[in-house]
Amino acid sequence: MLVTQQPVLRRFWYPVIPMARLNDGPKPFRLLNQDLVLWLDSQGKPQVAEDRCAHRSAKLSLGWVDGDNIVCPYHGWNYDGTGACKKIPQTPDRPASRVKVPAFHADERYGYVWVCLGDPVTGIPEMPEAKEPGYRMFHQFHEVWRTAGLRLMENSFDNAHFSFVHRESFGQYDKPIPADLNIEEGEYGFRFETKAPVNNPESQKKLLKMDSDTTVRHMTSNWYMPFGRRLNISYPNGLVHSIVTYATPIDDEHSMICQWAFRSDSEEDAPEAEIIAFDRQVTEEDKRVLESTDYDVPLDTASGEEKHMPSDQPGMVMRKMMKALLERFGESEARSDHARIPVKQEKAS
């Protein structure tokens, strides 16, 4: 599936940039190949429009904010959050409002600006930890990976990769068979619960307040179609570490990885920086492998293009549901002949 060729994907909400990054002025973002400018209006609400001035195509993200409006850096035309041009400084007596740039839906949730490029088919997912008392929330990662959103999502629910990808952090190399799981499908996602025995490296023992070399994670996994997941991990001592990861689609090959965490303990128990450092190690292990995969993930699981095993079930359900989504919206899957990542040649020494 080529994400930029499936219009229905424009009808979902994606986190794009932490709100705090807009405090010092407008910022650009490319979402599904659409160049956007994001800014905060005078109420502190996020606004989003196409990053291209209607006059001479300059990038509005190089401009600045005046009241509620974004000001083009080239000749100072002003646009509001609906994309309407409110002022052309060179012709103050003539109405500017016939001029418009495309504008889109923007909202704020979990400290992020969320954007939807079309008519939303579903809302921004509710995260129960955000409402329950006793949880802190903090941002972990906001970075570009050369991988498809669907690859990252499948990896998030694939417990067969722990023993191999994460053998140096928490995976148990000699226990490669993951536990069974039972997927409950919803209209725009799924959920399942499972258990996984994992290793407890020294850094984790301290953060989890556990002495044993191994422990069992009780995991509740939620998939938010198309490219979001929440992994709620509870440990035998009652500690909950819940991570939300979005692979916001930049273009067919690249995703913006947005990850934040909810924790049931306090900063004194486990400093944010140390939790992020461990999750960074784990994430780097995933990144290395995911960036080696083809970015055009085939939704047709029977084509023989990729081979499967029983533990691939979440990914298989995901592909089935994505295929059904496209059909429901009258689309067929777009494919590429050029989806392979070119092999990097070592330089002869």
Q: Site residues (CB under 5 A) for Co ion? A: 286
Q: Is 64 in the site for ligand FES (CB under 6 A)?
A: no
The binder of ligand FES chosen from 29, 39, 77, 79 (CB under 6 A)? 77
Question: Considering CB distances under 5 to 8 angstroms, the limit depending on partner class, which of ligand FES, Co ion, none binds residue 286?
Answer: Co ion
Q: Which of 19, 25, 45, 74 is the binder for ligand FES (CB under 6 A)?
A: 74
Residue 53 interacts with which of Co ion, ligand FES, none, CB < 5 to 8 Å by class: ligand FES
CA distance 20 to 41: 14
The rounded Cα 196 to chain-centroid distance in angstroms is 24
55 binds, among ligand FES, Co ion, none (CB under 5 to 8 A by kind): ligand FES
288 binds ligand FES (CB under 6 A): no
Task: Please list, in sequence order, all residues whose beta carbon lies within 8 angstroms of the beta carbon of residue 123, skipping any fewer than 6 positions away.
Answer: 13
Q: CB-based burial of residue 229 (10 Å sphere; 0-12 exposed, 13-18 middle, 19+ buried)? A: buried
Candidates 42, 44, 66, 75: give the one binding ligand FES (CB under 6 A): 75
Does the footprint of ligand FES cover residue 209 (CB under 6 A)?
no
> What is the DSSP annotation of 292-315?
TS-SS--S-TTSSSS---GGGHHH
Separation in Å, CA 241 to CA 59, 213, 265: 40, 18, 9
Q: Does 167 bind ligand FES (CB under 6 A)?
A: no
**CA-based nearest residue to 19, from 50, 45, 48:** 45
Interacting stretch for ligand FES, rule CB under 6 A, among 74-82, 170-178, 226-234, 280-288?
A: 74-82
CA end-to-end span of the chain: 39
Binding of residue 86 to ligand FES (CB under 6 A): no
Number of residues interacting with ligand FES: please give it, by CB under 6 A.
Answer: 9
The verdict on 121 binding ligand FES (CB under 6 A) reads no
Give, in order, the Cα–Cα distances in Å from 61 to each of 28, 33, 75, 166, 198: 5, 16, 14, 39, 45
Q: Using the rule CB under 6 A, is 233 a contact of ligand FES?
A: no
Nearer to ligand FES, 38 or 196 (CB): 38
- Distance set, CA 156 to CA 153, 164, 198, 218, 342 (Å): 5, 14, 16, 15, 25
Residue 101 lies near ligand FES (rule: CB under 6 A): no
Q: Which of 17, 37, 48, 72 binds ligand FES (CB under 6 A)?
A: 72
Q: Residue numbers of the site for ligand FES (CB under 6 A)?
A: 53, 55-56, 58, 72, 74-77
